């Protein structure tokens, strides 16, 4: 593992007019499983850092903005290693400004954007242009992946050294698998030399071609071509072995199948450097949703069966799955409001991630809150960044949450430019009120009363 970088080393516009002043979260329920903090505290943010963690009511700093956080919770902010910001090329669906605003609204202090744009991000000039735009527009720190292969064609490696030099955070052809084992091997040789992460969308197109939804009872009943779980797990097994052989490190994206979880477990037990993620939709929904023929439930990998969902939950609990990632994938209504077979794959997810997991898995007692909080920022370290922590001296990456608040997803609109959420209309518990990213206030919920200067 190379040296981990602070989240503030990513590009963003800094702050939105809020002075980088002193903040006190007064009497908040502070929870950070990494540092073991769990209880009522005053938390002081100064000079972009967590400056103090005192007994409730004890912090007293002149000129500070005091936020009455009694009954509210403060966690390390979330970090999403897998989002699609659709820039360049599909700014009608999302851009850096709207996508990063959605991230801030969801409690994320940093996101990493995939390279399957139009055209794909595969030159140093592309990376430089995106980074410059992020410095002007991004509401939270944003990093940019570059393609593993030129034009995402799966044949020739991109200029990986040059792309790394220009500030790409890693390499991924996400959206498409790398089907050639020879190309994968060469990419992982480079990974080992250069250290930057390689993130993999695992799918064997020979097995998945033509499929729209999970291959199982529902696809058979509906007569819709299926995508079998083994199209994912067999490729993970192949790439884990190539990574082991080349002593390289891989990050597997959006695990969906129980065979994939066990494949990752076996690889980890054998000492392979492999990390992986699961999405809120795969953790909380199954292919039963497709009986409605609603295209909002169509994504790749597809929603799978209940046994798969249970395996993902167990993997998240045990740590076999390192992190929750949204795979936030905005699409225009023209691409989604069509029959299932014709609809584009993908759902947005940044603004609902915490609330969905909290409502569906924490409140019913399926997962512990601490586990969820840890996994929601668990993508930072495997991708090369310091995980957000709550302890004096740490960069302030914090989220303020009202776990009692109820809201209807999408009722007040979305910060994302697209509205293809598979959770729209659901009553959710737990609302992000404020996000502090790299020491600056990146987001305040509209209905949340501002603190007062003391
Ligand atoms: Zn993917
Ligand atoms: Zn993706």
Q: What angle do CA 71, 72, 74 make, to 5 degrees?
A: 140
Express the helix, strand and coil content of the chain in percent, nearest 5 each: 30, 25, 45
What is the CA(329)–ligand 2 centre distance, in A? Answer: 7
The Cα 220–Cα 303 span in angstroms is: 15
What is the CA(344)–ligand 1 centre distance, in A? Answer: 13
Provide the strand spans (E) within 55-137: 65-68, 73-76, 78-83, 108-113
Which ligand has the nearest atom to the CA of 253? 1
What is the CA(254)–ligand 1 centre distance, in A? Answer: 7
Helix or strand holding residue 29 (H, E): strand 23-32
Torsion, Cα 27 104 362 30, to 10 degrees, reads: -20
What is the pLDDT, as a whole number, of residue 307? 98
Which ligand has the nearest atom to the CA of 201? 1
Is it true that the peptide bond before 119 is cis, omega within 30 degrees of 0? yes
What is the pLDDT, as a whole number, of residue 1? 57
First to last CA, the chain: 44
What is the CA(407)–ligand 2 centre distance, in A? Answer: 27
Q: How many Cβ atoms sit within 10 Å of the Cβ of residue 126?
A: 21
What is the pLDDT, as a whole number, of residue 101? 98
Give 146-173 as a DSSP string.
Answer: E-SBGGG-SSSB--HHHHHHTT--EEE-
Any residues with CB less than 8 A from the CB of 426 and at least 6 apart, and which?
356, 359, 408, 409
What is the pLDDT, as a whole number, of residue 447? 73
What is the CA(364)–ligand 1 centre distance, in A? Answer: 29
What is the pLDDT, as a whole number, of residue 232? 98
Q: Which residues of the chain have pLDDT under 50?
A: 17, 452-454
Q: Which residues are catalytic?
A: 327
Tokens 């039963």 correspond to what residue?
288
The Cα 383–Cα 144 span in angstroms is: 12
Over residues 382-439, the pLDDT tens digits come to 999 999 999 999 999 999 999 999 999 999 999 999 999 999 999 999 999 999 999 9
Give 322-342 as a DSSP string.
Answer: -EE---B----HHHHSS-TTT
Provide the b/e sequence for 22-61 (b: ≥16 CB within 10 Å): bbbbbbbbbbbbbbebeeebbbbbbeeebbbbeeeeebeb
What is the CA(114)–ligand 2 centre distance, in A? Answer: 7
What is the CA(299)–ligand 2 centre distance, in A? Answer: 9
What is the pLDDT, as a whole number, of residue 452? 46
What is the pLDDT, as a whole number, of residue 21? 79
Which ligand has the nearest atom to the CA of 330? 2
In the chain, % of residues over pLDDT 70: 97
Q: How many CA atoms lie within 13 A of 289 on its CB side?
A: 22
What is the pLDDT, as a whole number, of residue 49? 95
Which ligand has the nearest atom to the CA of 327? 2
What is the pLDDT, as a whole number, of residue 44? 97
What is the pLDDT, as a whole number, of residue 215? 98
Q: In what order do the strands lie in the sheet with 273-278?
A: 78-83, 108-113, 142-146, 170-172, 198-200, 249-252, 273-278, 323-324
């Amino acid at each position: 593992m190379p040296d981990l970088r602070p989240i503030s080393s990513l590009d963003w516009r800094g702050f939105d007019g809020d002075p980088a002043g002193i903040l006190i979260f007064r009497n908040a329920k502070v929870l950070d499983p990494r540092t073991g903090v769990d209880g009522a505290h005053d938390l002081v943010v100064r000079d972009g850092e967590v400056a103090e963690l005192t007994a409730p009511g004890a912090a007293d700093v002149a000129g500070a903005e005091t936020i009455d956080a009694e009954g509210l919770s403060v966690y390390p902010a979330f970090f999403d290693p897998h989002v699609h910001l659709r820039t360049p090329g599909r700014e009608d669906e999302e851009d850096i400004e709207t996508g990063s605003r959605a991230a801030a609204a969801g409690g994320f202090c940093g996101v990493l954007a995939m390279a399957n744009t139009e055209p794909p991000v595969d030159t140093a000039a592309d990376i430089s242009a995106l980074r410059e735009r992020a410095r002007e527009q991004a509401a939270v720190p944003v990093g940019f992946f570059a393609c593993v292969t030129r034009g995402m064609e799966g044949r020739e490696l991109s200029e990986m050294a040059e792309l790394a030099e220009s500030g790409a955070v890693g390499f991924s052809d996400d959206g498409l698998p790398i089907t050639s084992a020879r190309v994968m091997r060469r990419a992982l040789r480079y990974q080992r030399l250069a250290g930057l992460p390689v993130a993999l969308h695992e799918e064997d197109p020979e097995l998945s071609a033509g499929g729209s939804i999970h291959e199982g009872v529902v696809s058979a009943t509906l007569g819709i071509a299926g995508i079998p779980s083994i199209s994912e797990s067999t490729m993970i097994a192949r790439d884990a072995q190539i990574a082991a052989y080349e002593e390289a490190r891989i990050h597997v994206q959006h695990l969906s199948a129980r065979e994939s979880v066990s494949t990752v477990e076996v690889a980890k037990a054998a000492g392979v450097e492999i990390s992986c993620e699961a999405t809120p939709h795969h953790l909380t929904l199954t292919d039963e949703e497709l009986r409605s023929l609603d295209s909002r439930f169509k994504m790749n990998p597809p929603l799978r069966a209940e046994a798969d969902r249970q395996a993902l939950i167990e993997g998240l609990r045990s740590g076999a799955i390192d992190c929750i990632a949204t795979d936030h994938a905005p699409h225009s209504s023209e691409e989604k409001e069509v029959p299932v077979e014709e609809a584009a794959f993908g759902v947005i997810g940044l603004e609902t991630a915490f609330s969905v997991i909290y409502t569906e898995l924490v409140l019913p007692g399926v997962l512990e809150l601490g586990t969820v909080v840890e996994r929601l920022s668990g993508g930072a370290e495997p991708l090369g960044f310091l995980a957000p922590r709550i302890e004096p001296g740490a960069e302030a990456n914090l989220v303020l949450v009202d776990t009692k608040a109820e809201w209807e997803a999408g009722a007040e609109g979305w910060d994302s430019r697209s509205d293809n959420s598979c959770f729209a209309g659901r009553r959710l518990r737990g609302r992000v009120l404020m996000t502090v990213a790299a020491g600056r206030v990146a987001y305040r919920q509209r209905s949340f009363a501002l603190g007062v200067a003391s």
